[in-house]
Structure 1
Amino acid sequence: MSVFQLSRWIIGILNNIRRTYLWQGRNSNRKLVTVAWDKVCSPKSIGGLGVMDLHTFNLSLLAKWYWKWHGSHQSCWRELLVNLHGNSPTPPSSSPLSKPFQQLQPIISTTTYFTITSGACVLLWHQNWGLGILSSNFHVLFSYCLNPDITVYDFLQHLTTPLQLFRPSLTSSLLAQQQLLQLVHLTQQILSQPTSQTQDQICCKIAPNQLTSASLYNFLKTFPKIPSDFRLVWKLKVPPRVTTFSWLLLHDKLPTIPNLQEKGMILVNRCCLCKSQAETILHLFKTCPYSITTRTFTSYFSNCNIPNVDLCDALTSTELTLKQKELLAISCYFIWKERCSRTFSDANNQPHSTAMLILEDWKLLHPD
């Protein structure tokens, strides 16, 4: 992934394997996928699982080589490529890095820039050396250039006679001539600034010291920075199965009867715990008599009061202790487990039996 760009077809196959493992594990039975893959690849703080997006991660790893090419002039691997293919601002077409570098150019141009001394290692038109990407900023002038891959150094050699670098028809375009004069003027301004560098140097816009695959990945995956209750789920000291359940519960992606009906299944909506009201998330975990009785037993035997609130309100509450939030999450998990047992295997555990299961898990976490 760090040398070759993966095709969309390969990424699709790998994502299918990862998606299958996430929702099915090693079980061959197909299970219901409830959360979109894009959401799964989001950070945990905004409701995802923090799974890497392979396409973005692949681009980030490839861009790291671009940084190394311009920042590690004495490295053995660069010297080997230079000896094989020659020295140039970018790897030549015969180099295995050539194609990835070309495809990454739009990303690189927005995240890096060059400070120049000689300009021998910097492309005039395609790399940012203080004036942005000239092929875009001076697109009319660029259409007249004779060598699109000319370096800044070669341009500086013709700074007093720049017309030699362009087609003769340039003189017929007033806008192109104006852009040429502007380019020469801006270049002279940049060269007049004092510098202590001995060679061209690549700099990073998005990180303080150097471009890393992590910093570029976070830059490319722009997520909304909004307050979210999901970050609180991962702070609970509960078993992983309870954490995953709580994550699905906050997303309202548990396979409840209303959610299954939205997927086209024809089902009678009735709570199998109380057998009197419709099954909803709010009813199952807050207002159902079975759930209320289970929480009452659990609170009594654990000496930790479980409030009659839903998990989302509990996580954001400043009045509840961390232990109360953890016990509520475990209680919701075992209530859901009892609901599934009654649906698929005709189980009929009483509330005090479910409370004992909750307390067993609770004692493992808090043996004191």
Structure 2
Amino acid sequence: MQRILDVYERASGQVINKDKSSNFFSPTIRGEMRDALLIPTEARSERYLGLPVSVGRSRKRAFEYIKQKIWARIQGWQGKEILVKAVAQAIPTYAMSCFDLTKGLCDDLSMMIGRWWWSHQDKEKIHWLSWEKLTRSKKKGGLGFWDLHLFNMAMLARQAWRILTNPDSLCARVLKAKYFPNLGLLPCTAREGISYTWRSILKGIDLLKEGIIWRIGNGRSVNIWSDPWIPRNITRKPITPRGASLLSRVEDLINPITGDWDEQLVKDTFWKEDAQAILNIPTRTEDEDWPAWHYDQKGLFSVKSAYKVAVERRDRCMKSDASGSGLKNYKENDFKWNKIWELGVQNKTKMFLWRVAHNSLPVKRNIEKRGVQLDTVCPVCKRFDEDCGHIFFKCKEATECWRRMNLEQERVALEACPSGLETVQQILNMVEEVQLKVVILMWR
């Protein structure tokens, strides 16, 4: 280490100030060796280039500064949607590109942002919708906020992709020499004694496997049965069972003379669906096999695409676990949510209509459903319970407004809608001029 510092000083002409420097050693290093560098400060609790030098056992403590930074930035802002997307979610991005922040910490950050999102003038309010719904894309009924844990995995998958596609880079060579000298990257698994940085990248590899596909060159490095190489189904592997087949590498399926597929061998080995998909793959026997990203036409990896894959995997798991709420979910999924955001009105008016569709407005009946004890009678007419249908279409003051705007026919049609979702659907089906009048009237 001292020799490296000496070489640096001679090469750069700069002398290192050891009083302003810091370092840290493994606990197994003897004291006299630590003292040899004459650097008095240990840097275990410090950060370098914005990242913790050493994560240690308490990951929550190591990344606590991210929570503090987000909370400090979101105080006092008014444009909440813009702030969440442009600032609050951007702060942990740098750390996420190197470390697994853990699902627990990501949930804490999401909860903190969610509390702020639903709050008003520093007062905590009811969370009208789950954070999971807010993280759905706008075309699926959400607001497009990130699921921070899944975004973290997508960022780590990018690091794994760089190691896979740039094996000659210094970072890839160092990691390979230390953690997988006799293996490829994708088969790597966690073991004792590895650094937290490498353990984090392994989490990214799990997501990378969801979208990786091998493009066939000479076929020598791709296993027919275990590697993803057929551009068709989710696994991108053959659905044909191997049985007693002795074929192992994709090159075994290629005619060595012509460089094309051995069509008869392929048809004899695989079921019809597999065989057709394989024969449609172009071969380039003069090239090596190379990895590509299945969800991009050019085969290029992107965090955006990987995040989408992670969200779809999460949604598949949620669908398999869900039962009994099928009709409501079907209506929400079938609804054209984009039409709300395409309206020619202010963003806060669109947000209002979105909340109507989700039945998440703070009317008395909705508040009562969330366990708050209160008088639910409408404070205007003092006759009926205050719900969305009443305050917009049935209360005597509301009906008078509709009448004066010459929208009585529209009011009657909307009053008959059984849910907020169908109310908004009815509004979106109106001609544009009437539609805007109705939306502004309800908003005001």
Paired residues for 1:1-368 under 5 Å: 1-24=96-119, 27-73=121-167, 75=169, 77-78=171-172, 89-90=184-185, 98-115=198-215, 127-128=227-228, 181-184=245-248, 188-189=252-253, 192=256, 193=261, 195-209=284-298, 210-222=300-312, 226-297=333-404, 299=405, 307-308=410-411, 309-310=413-414, 311-317=423-429, 319-321=430-432, 323-334=433-444
Corresponding residue SS for 2:438:
helix
CA 1:184/1:16 → structure 2, altered by over 3 Å: closer, same or farther? closer
> 1:96 Cα deviation (Å)?
6.5
CA distance in 1, matches of 2:98, 2:348: 37
Corresponding residue SS for 2:424:
helix
Contact 1:130 1:190 (C-alpha < 8 Å) held by counterparts = no
Q: What is the CA deviation profile of residues 44-95 of structure 1, one whole-angstrom value per residue up to 9, with x for unaligned ones? A: 1222111111111111122222222222346565466568878662298867
CA 1:242/1:69 → structure 2, altered by over 3 Å: closer, same or farther? same
Partner of 2:9: none
CA distance in 1, matches of 2:364, 2:289: 64
CA 1:20/1:121 → structure 2, altered by over 3 Å: closer, same or farther? farther
CA distance in 2, matches of 1:39, 1:65: 28
Corresponding residue SS for 2:213:
strand
Contact 1:253 1:259 (C-alpha < 8 Å) held by counterparts = yes
Larger radius of gyration: 1
CA distance in 2, matches of 1:191, 1:129: 18
CA distance in 2, matches of 1:220, 1:251: 25
CA distance in 2, matches of 1:58, 1:306: 51
Q: Which runs of 5+ in 1 are unaligned?
A: 139-174, 335-368
Contact 1:314 1:325 (C-alpha < 8 Å) held by counterparts = no
> 1:106 Cα deviation (Å)?
4.4
CA distance in 2, matches of 1:234, 1:246: 9
Q: Which runs of 5+ in 2 are unaligned?
A: 1-95, 262-282, 316-329, 415-422
Q: What is the CA deviation profile of residues 258-311 of structure 1, one whole-angstrom value per residue up to 9, with x for unaligned ones? A: 2222223333332222222232211211122211222344x37xxx99932535
Aligned residue pairs total 287
Corresponding residue SS for 1:113:
strand
Contact 1:42 1:48 (C-alpha < 8 Å) held by counterparts = yes
CA distance in 1, matches of 2:341, 2:348: 12
Contact 1:229 1:316 (C-alpha < 8 Å) held by counterparts = no
Partner of 1:165: none
CA 1:37/1:86 → structure 2, altered by over 3 Å: closer, same or farther? closer
Partner of 2:15: none
Corresponding residue SS for 1:4:
coil
Corresponding residue SS for 1:241:
helix
CA 1:32/1:133 → structure 2, altered by over 3 Å: closer, same or farther? closer
Structure with larger RCO (C-alpha < 8 A, sep 6+):
1
Contact 1:229 1:315 (C-alpha < 8 Å) held by counterparts = no
Corresponding residue SS for 1:221:
helix
TM-score, normalized by length of structure 2?
0.54
Q: What is the CA deviation profile of residues 317-344 of structure 1, one whole-angstrom value per residue up to 9, with x for unaligned ones? A: 2x421x432332232222xxxxxxxxxx
Contact 2:134 2:144 (C-alpha < 8 Å) held by counterparts = yes
CA distance in 2, matches of 1:20, 1:333: 24
Q: How much identity, in percent, do the aligned residues show?
A: 19
In terms of mean alpha carbon deviation, does 232-241 or 102-111 score higher? 102-111
CA 1:104/1:183 → structure 2, altered by over 3 Å: closer, same or farther? farther
